[in-house]
Amino acid sequence: MTPFQQREKRVRLSFVLLLSWLSLAAGPLIAQGSNPEQACLYSFVVGGRALRAAPCIDEDPLGFAKNVDLARVIRAFSIRPELIRFRGCDGGLFSTAEEHVSGSSQATIRYVISYPSDAQNDFLAPITHELAHVLQIEMAGGLEPLRDSLASKRIELGADFLTGIIFSFALKEARLGEFQHNLSLMGLYRDSASKAHGSPTQRTSAFRRGVFFNFARVSMSFPRASQEFQANIYGEIVAVP
């Protein structure tokens, strides 16, 4: 058995364990996903013409802004670090939002990534997923253009796919099984929901396709990889319930 086949075997086992965990946790996952204001990219908007924002008192209690692994992810995505603000929320979920910041000459957009303040050691995968949303927003030219161009499930599965690429590309020291488990896969994944995230099976599949995606084939370009996912890979994934 080649090293690649051995790794593939370990990945398949990790998926089986992950899906077993998800089946045991299905009740809580659905309950938490029933609130649209806690649904990842659609959680809230801060500033400008914003609606209600999630109540958060803390700034960045776990110091994610100084985390070495997250800095590596931000660099790999070519995101300007000064555009990212982390904030902890008691009882909250991982989410991404735009924040309108008034500058000396014109208003600028910054991205707020919120996280449960008790995230502790299981933060890397879901925060990487949220940073993938930032990349998607940047590529689309804004949050609203992204929402106008892609349905929620396409956005969320696309972020899972990009998370898989980053795992293979920039987080090689992370343990794959733990990374998949900590991705959590929480959110609205019912097909009837306007803010659907995809089923647990579809989300693990999107992540797995990212892990083994031949990034060099698209010249190490995340926009091209994202286009490849939306044009060809997404349809293959959603064909499986």
Residue 223 forms part of a structural domain = yes
Position with higher pLDDT, 215 vs 32: 215
Residue 20 forms part of a structural domain = no
Residue 6 forms part of a structural domain = no
Residue 10 forms part of a structural domain = no
Counted domains in the chain: 1
155-197 pLDDT, tens digit per residue, is: 999 999 999 999 887 887 777 777 766 665 555 555 556 667 7
221-240 pLDDT, tens digit per residue, is: 999 999 999 999 999 999 98
Question: CA 154, CA 102: separation in Å to the nearest integer?
Answer: 32
60-99 pLDDT, tens digit per residue, is: 999 999 999 999 999 999 999 999 999 998 877 788 988 8
Residue 24 forms part of a structural domain = no
Residue 23 forms part of a structural domain = no
Give the domain extent around 131.
Answer: 33-238
pLDDT band at 54 (very low <50, low <70, confident <90, very high): low
Which amino acid, residue 49?
A: R
